[in-house]
């Protein structure tokens, strides 16, 4: 699996991390098959991720051998905070009164807020030993699409009467 940015070949699987704390309302629907519990949910809250990150592109040119090497690296330690609003649809299958199988949950929403993005390109030419560094500091978009697909086990804590 891979959760890195679509516009980056840097890093490997698991390089982008996203943490969310959400609260919302859920509606469950009745079906002719009483053991299926489809639902829809609207939630809002807080998200923290390192998707904007710091990019470094290093290009090395050897004039003697005509070999060019380009390395794109990413610093995943730069986190940004966002407000987030998401909608979910899913399907739960009860196994016991307090235990359900979440067959699928699909989420779609937006994270709101802008974050700085620092992109650095360094070109080193050997043979004449020339080094050029270009730094581009931009801001990310004010909204970011957030999608999720999930499945799992749901433990329901019963109400005490």
Q: What is residue 2's predicted lDDT score, i.e. its pLDDT?
A: 43
CA distance 2 to 4: 6
Contacts of 80 (CB under 8 A, 6+ apart): 48, 49, 50, 51, 52, 113, 115, 140
Q: What is residue 151's predicted lDDT score, i.e. its pLDDT?
A: 94
Q: Which two tokens stand for residue 157?
A: 């804590």
CA distance 154 to 96: 10
CA distance 3 to 139: 21
Q: What is residue 1's predicted lDDT score, i.e. its pLDDT?
A: 33
Q: What is residue 74's predicted lDDT score, i.e. its pLDDT?
A: 59
Q: What is residue 73's predicted lDDT score, i.e. its pLDDT?
A: 62
Q: What's the gap between Cα 115 and its chain centre? A: 14
The candidate with the shortest Cα–Cα distance to 16, out of 24, 8, 28, is 8
> From start to end of the chain, where are the E strands?
18-28, 37-49, 54-62, 67-75, 80-96, 99-112, 116-126, 130-139, 143-155
Contact 15, 76 (CB under 8 A): yes
Q: What is residue 76's predicted lDDT score, i.e. its pLDDT?
A: 62
pLDDT in tens, the chain (161 residues): 345 555 455 555 556 777 889 999 999 999 999 899 999 999 999 988 776 655 666 666 666 766 666 666 656 667 778 899 999 999 999 999 899 999 999 999 998 886 666 566 666 666 655 666 665 666 666 777 888 899 999 998 877 66
Contact 76, 99 (CB under 8 A): no
Q: What's the gap between Cα 110 and its chain centre? A: 11
Q: Tell me the whole-structure pTM to 2 decimals.
A: 0.64
The candidate with the shortest Cα–Cα distance to 140, out of 87, 85, 78, 86, is 78
Contact 8, 55 (CB under 8 A): yes
């Amino acid at each position: 699996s891979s959760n890195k940015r679509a516009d980056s070949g840097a890093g490997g699987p698991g390089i982008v991390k996203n943490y969310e704390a959400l609260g919302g309302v859920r509606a469950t629907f009745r079906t002719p098959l009483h053991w299926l519990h489809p639902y829809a949910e609207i939630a809002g809250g807080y998200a923290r991720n390192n998707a904007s990150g710091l990019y470094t592109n290093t290009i090395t040119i050897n004039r003697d051998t005509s070999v060019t090497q380009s390395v794109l690296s990413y610093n995943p330690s730069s986190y940004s905070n966002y407000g987030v609003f998401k909608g979910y649809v899913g399907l739960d299958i009860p196994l016991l009164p307090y235990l359900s199988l979440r067959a699928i949950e699909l989420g779609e929403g937006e994270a709101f807020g802008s974050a700085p993005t620092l992109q650095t390109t360094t070109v080193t030419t050997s043979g004449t030993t020339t080094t050029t560094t270009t730094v581009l500091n931009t801001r990310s978009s004010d909204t970011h699409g957030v999608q999720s697909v999930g499945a799992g086990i749901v433990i329901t804590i019963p109400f005490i009467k």
